[in-house]
Homo-oligomer: A and B are copies of this chain.
């Protein structure tokens, strides 16, 4: 309506309202006069999108019932709060369709920028590329897609899994199971490579049936693990690449009266506060979840603060720590 009445383009009017230096004072006066006359309220979504002033960061993660993501959120919020950004958390529950829907929704300008940890189903990248093409900056953390050119905040998954596997071997394990929820995710395949290479470097053959991918459906996973733990030759070591699976291991071992670490030694990727107080205390690869969240938010907020933002195509690696406790032998 404004555009028609003033015989100006929508872009020009929008710039005039925003007091852009590209527009003459005369035009600005004309626009403002009519705006006032008409009591015009600009579409806030569209205007947010152009100006990136929703002051909101969208965080897209698979779930929150995992200490890693819960702690990463706190890291993200610590930076966002300081810099005056809101944080909105979107959960995909590991559904690629949901991830697509959420990113589509961002195209309306709901958020200024996005921090993404992909689902374990995500193999396509077009939904992410499209959002970035629309000018919404996006950085990855933890679960990244390597082929997309942006900043990725990760930990040293390969080295951590290598180190954990080596630790189990040094403590006498001959048959080590590798437990995961995915064989698609970049972090899973890095952890798996670390496991495999550690075995090979120590002269142990990689056995495909020792690599177990779970469904994340508690009951099924529990039964599958029990079956694997019973079938000879018995495993004497377990590397769980997901926190939740460590509890499944403790459950199955209790049920089968398998002693940890006497019969089987266990290491898990985990950020559980209670790891020290489990019976036995759990040896963990502890990821710097809070720091990863902080770094991801810092990179994004810095980019958003610039007129012409740029998220470098680079990986920032914050190393994990192995904390040896009594689920592996002293």
Interface residues of A (CB under 8 A from B): 1, 38-41, 43-45, 63-65, 67, 69-71, 73-74, 77, 81, 86-91, 93, 98, 101-102, 105, 108, 110, 244, 247, 250-251, 254, 272-274, 276-281
- A274–B64 Cα distance when bound, in Å, is 16
Residues of B near A89 (CB, < 8 A) are 64, 88-91
Given the known interface contacts A64-B70, A65-B71, A90-B88, the answer about A39 and B1 at a Cβ–Cβ threshold of 8 Å is: yes
- B93 touching A77 by the CB < 8 A rule? yes
Question: Which 3 A-B residue pairings sit nearest by Cβ, starting from the closest?
Answer: A279-B279, A89-B89, A65-B70
Chain B residues near A43 (CB, 8 Å)? 41, 43-44
Interface centre among A43, A110, A273 (most CB of B within 10 A): A273
**Chain B nearest CB: distance from A296 CB in Å?**
16
When chains A and B are docked, how far (Å) is the Cα of A101 from the Cα of B85?
11
Residue of B nearest to A38 (CB): B1
In the complex, residue of chain B having the shortest beta-carbon distance to the beta carbon of A272 = B274
Q: Which B residues touch A272, using CB under 8 A?
A: 274
Tell me the complex Cα distance, A87–B101, Å. Answer: 12
Are B70 and A70 touching (Cβ within 8 A)? yes
| A247 touching B88, Cβ below 8 Å | no
Contacts of A44 in B (CB 8 A): 43-45, 108
CA gap between A274 and B274 in the complex, in Å:
8
A74 to chain B, nearest CB (A): 7
A324 to B282 CA separation, bound complex (whole angstroms): 23
Bound-state Cα–Cα, A84 to B57, Å: 23
> Contact at B254–A273, with CB atoms within 8 Å?
no
**Can you show 8 pairs from A to B with CB atoms below 8 A apart?**
A43-B44, A44-B44, A44-B45, A65-B71, A86-B102, A88-B89, A247-B274, A277-B278
Which residue of B has the minimal Cβ distance to A58? B88
| A63 partner residues in chain B, CB cutoff 8 A | 70, 74
8 further interface pairs, Cβ-Cβ under 8 Å (given A43-B43, A64-B64, A251-B277): A1-B39, A1-B41, A65-B74, A70-B70, A73-B91, A77-B91, A77-B93, A250-B277
**Which of B39, B279, B280 is A280 in contact with, Cβ under 8 Å?**
B279
**In the complex, chain B residues whose CB is within 8 Å of the CB of A101:** 86
**Given the complex, which residues of B lie within 8 Å of A39, measured CB to CB?**
1
- Nearest B residue to A271 via CB reads B65
- Complex Cα spacing A248 to B242, Å: 24
Could you tell me the distance in whole angstroms from the C-beta of A38 to the nearest C-beta in chain B? 6
A322, B247: Cα distance in complex, Å = 21
With a cutoff of 8 Å between Cβ atoms, the chain B residues found around residue A67 in the complex are 65
Of the candidates B38, B71, B102, B247, the one whose C-beta lies within 8 Å of that of A277 is: B247
Minimum Cβ distance to chain B for residue A41 (Å) = 5
